A and B are shown apart, each in its own frame.
Chain A
């Protein structure tokens, strides 16, 4: 069974540009979570999607947005990139609510903003 996949592995952008990150959950998982991990720091919760809808979002500005498609894959968009957006972006999926069940993480997308 394939795990959570993310693309691209690395992404280099310049300040002011837009970045699009993609995630495919484990087959059968309907919930997708996005986290930001800045260098040397813990994970900051970004967004939670379930059944195609945004269920919760963390303390991030509106230029961080995303969506979930009918096949439960998800996209994270970051507009008007700033230098401090440079981080590892992790996607996770779970069978049911992550607050009750384990999350399965993808390998991450490392975003570098120059």
Chain B
């Protein structure tokens, strides 16, 4: 079963708006990673936040992690049409990484 669950399952926004995706997980983790997947192709790593970190930034990406609530959020600011993709969170636990079901983001030009 999937450890992570993303919310919402699908999100449609206008170009320039911010997109926020949430992820919840069930067991303890060493880190929480976010990946992007374009049109059923391979995944691209976006950002990794360790369990002792609360917030991390990378360009237009901002990730938060709340280990007490077992949740994380990914914020994409000033979205672009090229950000249209599926986004997955992945919990790095003991001996494996468990992916969530993903959020499908559509950015309308």
Residues of A within 8 A of B (CB): 4, 33, 35, 37, 41-45, 48, 55-56, 58-59, 88, 90, 92, 97-108, 110
Contacts and interface: CB of A to CB of B under 8 A. Distances in A.
A107 B97 CA distance: 19
Contacts of B95: 48, 55-56, 97, 99
Contacts, number: 68
6 contacts: A42-B2, A45-B97, A99-B92, A100-B31, A101-B48, A110-B40
Interface stretch (B14-22, B72-80, B99-107): B99-107
Given A55-B95, A99-B30, A99-B93, A42 B100 contact: yes
B34 to A, nearest CB: 10
Contacts of A99: 29-31, 92-97
Interface in B23-56: 29-31, 33, 35, 40-45, 48
A56 B99 CA distance: 15
A67 B3 CA distance: 26
B92 A100 contact: yes
Given A42-B100, A42-B101, 14 more contacts: A42-B88, A43-B43, A43-B88, A48-B96, A56-B95, A88-B40, A97-B95, A99-B31, A99-B96, A101-B48, A102-B48, A103-B45, A105-B43, A105-B44
Given A48-B96, A98-B97, A108 B102 contact: no
A92 B93 CA distance: 16
Nearest to A91: B42
